[in-house]
Amino acid sequence: MKKKISLNMWLSVFFGGIWQFISNIFSWKNKTPFWRVIWCVITLCIVAFTGMLGYAFYDEFYGRSHRYCDYYATSDLGTDFYFYNDGHGKSYIANKETKKKIHKSLDWIARPEDGDSLVVFAKDDKRGYLSRHTANIVIPAKYDAAWCFNDGVAGVCEGDSVFFIDHSGRPIYNRKFKREKGHNYTYHGNYFVNQVGDKFGLVDRQGNDATPIIYEDLFAMANNMWVMKYNGKMGAINDKGVIIVPNEYAGVEIYPEGGIVVMSKDNSKKRLDYDGNVTDVFVYDHTYTMEYYSDNLDKEGNRIRKPANVWYYSSNGHYGLIDKDGKPVTAPIYASIEAFSEDLFECQVDGGGERLIINSKGQKVN
């Protein structure tokens, strides 16, 4: 009579066999070279795995937090002093030559980009200013927020009120502004951007509104000039607070020496001077030649490539046709352009995969 095997009996025999196999591997009673090699390989694997696991724990909880410490935590104040912060509560300012430590337990420092002599420091959740040349505290840590000095003045905050001070800590005028979290209170030339809700405007050095607070965006550019956004369109304000480019463009860039470049909705660009006068009616990013496969064959039977009648150019990541005299044939409104023949070109419509055919005069033929 066949004996009925229960699940418990099957599991007991199965795992018992596995355990016996493992025990046999690790038993020194196996004197044969084969089992000794197997035992050594498994032992090395266990040791390697344990070592990697230990290193991973070390790197996660200690090594990674210290490896780049000197890189991000040591900052030069000037020629004579530096700031050090180990990221674990130990910080100080020290003399480079004598190594003498002063002003211990500072939270952080922030140096101005324009090389101003005063540096922001934080201690016990308050902000103050110290000299980058002598390391002496010039303005004690008493502000709830402080911004770097720029063009000789700095914004500071007490409670939710922001005002501007000079190097002695005295306000430059009596007006205060309600702080908008995340906004940068820094003068750029003669103006700073004041934010009220979701609108922006310029304020001059006397604390007067230089522009209405109506703009959707307003940001500093080269030569102390500004780009503003109104009703979704871009324009420019010069360093005297005068609008020189009306809000009628899709984009505006102001360069330190190259003037102002404005871009229309169709991605075409033109260049202006710093008074807003047009100097170049047509500028672009790059030009490219085009070739097409003709019906003529070479000696090996391959179709010969020949140049098309026109080239194409790029502007703002889009493309248009340009003739060999350098005059634009179409606006740069296409995602790509390829030559079909000497006079026909396949253009991909922007925003989709559809294509159409135009001729060298920019006229649609299909």
Q: Among the three residues 170, 187, 204, which one is the final residue of a domain in this structure?
A: 187
Q: Among the three residues 230, 260, 283, which one is the final residue of a domain in this structure?
A: 283
Query: For residue 65, what pLDDT band results from cuts at 50, 70 and 90?
Result: very low
Give the number of other Cβ atoms within 10 Å of residue 311's Cβ.
18
Rounded to whole angstroms, how far apart are CA atoms 243 and 249? 14
According to the model, what pLDDT value does residue 72 have? 39
Q: Is residue 17 part of a domain?
A: no
Residue 284: strand, helix, or coil: coil
Digit-coded pLDDT (tens) for 277-329: 999 999 999 999 999 888 887 778 788 888 999 999 999 999 999 999 999 99
According to the model, what pLDDT value does residue 281 have? 96
Rounded to whole angstroms, how far apart are CA atoms 269 and 303? 38
Digit-coded pLDDT (tens) for 136-183: 999 999 999 999 999 899 999 999 999 999 999 999 999 999 999 999
Q: Is residue 108 part of a domain?
A: yes
H/E stretch holding 74 reads: strand 74-76
According to the model, what pLDDT value does residue 17 have? 65
Rounded to whole angstroms, how far apart are CA atoms 119 and 309? 61
Q: Which domain holds residue 179?
A: 68-187
Q: Check if the beta carbon of residue 30 is closer than 8 Å to that of residue 23.
A: no
According to the model, what pLDDT value does residue 69 have? 32
Q: Is residue 340 part of a domain?
A: yes
When divided into structural domains, the chain yields a total of 4
Q: Among the three residues 223, 253, 283, which one is the final residue of a domain in this structure?
A: 283
According to the model, what pLDDT value does residue 350 have? 83
Unique residue bearing structure tokens 């230089």: 210
Same domain, 49 and 72: no
Q: Is residue 128 part of a domain?
A: yes
Same domain, 118 and 136: yes
Residue 179: strand, helix, or coil: coil
Q: What is the mean pLDDT of residues 71-98?
A: 77
Same domain, 301 and 279: no
Give this prediction's pTM: 0.72
Same domain, 195 and 175: no
Same domain, 270 and 290: no
Classify residue 215 as exposed, middle or buried by CB count within 10 Å of its CB (0-12, 13-18, 19+): buried
Q: Is residue 268 part of a domain?
A: yes
Rounded to whole angstroms, how far apart are CA atoms 53 and 36? 26
Rounded to whole angstroms, how far apart are CA atoms 205 and 189? 9
H/E stretch holding 339 reads: strand 334-339
Q: What is the mean pLDDT of residues 43-61?
A: 70
pLDDT at residue 335 greater than cutoff 50: yes
